[in-house]
Structure 1
Amino acid sequence: MRQVSSILSFETPGRSLTDITRAMADWLDEAGISEGLLTLLCRHTSASLLIQENAAREVRGDLLTWLDRLAPEGPHYAHDDEGPDDMPAHLKATLTGVNLQIPVIGGRMALGTWQGIYLAEHRAMPHRRQIAVHVFGE
């Protein structure tokens, strides 16, 4: 058994779902693990990771709109140290999660046909986000 790990950085444009599937597939290819388990961890409390449909753009827009309705900006939060989107971003990250585990089969992530990996930026402004990646296997 072998394991490989790294920390990858991604620029986000502000509130969005950034497709990082290709970057993860390229990293996995370089790691040279053909069978195992890939783990991803978003190292932030106001951004998160999702596996979601990668075909219809409307899905991403609808998800962002839905999250905004669940955790709207406003003066009703005690925590607003970094602005009105601060606490809503933490809530959205709590709802969507910061880690993923994906089986690796035949050197590829075992994602479904219409699945992609997305870095969800919950803050309004652009950020540089870090994802810790680890694969364990043969």
Structure 2
Amino acid sequence: MRSETITVRTGGSPVVRDITAEAADFVRSEGDGLLHVFVPHATAGLAIIETGAGSDEDLLAAIDELLPAQDKWRHRHGSPGHGRDHVLPAWLPPYASLPVLQGRIALGTWQSICLVDTNGDNPTRQVRFSFLPA
């Protein structure tokens, strides 16, 4: 298995960051196998969604509706409402496994691999790509 960690700057506000290009670069020289993407953070997750057509903003709006950034959460360190960031990975897991065929991630036409980070307290994230050959 080959593995590599990249750093992704997410900034100080909720964001859906497309990391498909970075993942594609990681597997480009590989054959068939499995790409595993992992975010080693308690307050971020991954989503496989369409980007650029409003789905990014729709996802963040849905998160705000489902997990409002209010001061109602029991987990209280960090900025107000930060407890919701710790609940996020229960809905958007911090991992995804994708098939790789001849060095290309087998995503659907409009699918992208996205890091979802609602925690403005940590503007930099790590993402680990691991490739397991077939």
With the shorter chain as reference, the TM-score category is: over 0.9
Q: Does 1:24 align with 2:23?
A: yes
Q: Provide the residue aligned with 1:121 in structure 2.
A: 117
Aligned mate of 1:52, from 42, 49, 52: 49
Specify every segment of 5 or more residues in structure 1 that has no aligned partner in the other structure, as ranges: none
- Structure with more strand by fraction: 1
How far residue 86 of structure 1 moved from its aligned partner, in angstroms, is 1.5
Query: When the two structures are superposed, what TM-score results if normalisation uses the length of structure 2?
Result: 0.92
Partner of 2:63: 67
- Match status 1:132 vs 2:128: yes
SS in 1 for 2:47: strand
Query: Structure 1: how far apart are the matches of 2:94 and 2:116?
Result: 9
* CA contact 1:11–1:126 (8 Å) conserved in 2: no
Alpha-carbon distance in 2 for matches of 1:91, 1:78: 11
Matched residue type, 1:54: T
Q: What is the match of residue 10 of structure 2?
A: 12
Q: Which runs of 4+ in 1 moved over 2 A?
A: none
Structure having the larger proportion of residues in helix: 1
Cα drift, residue 124 of structure 1: 2.9
**Is structure 2 residue 103 aligned with structure 1 residue 107?**
yes
| 1:73 Cα offset (Å) | 1.8
Structure 1 Cα separation of the partners of residues 45 and 82 of structure 2: 14
Q: Deviation string for 1:17-53 (max 9, x for gaps)?
A: 0011011111112xx2210000011010111111101
Matches within 5 A, 1:37-48: 37-48=34-45
Structure 2: any 5+ residue segments left out of the alignment?
none
Amino acid corresponding to residue 5 of structure 1 in structure 2: S
**Alignment RMSD (CA, Å):** 1.4
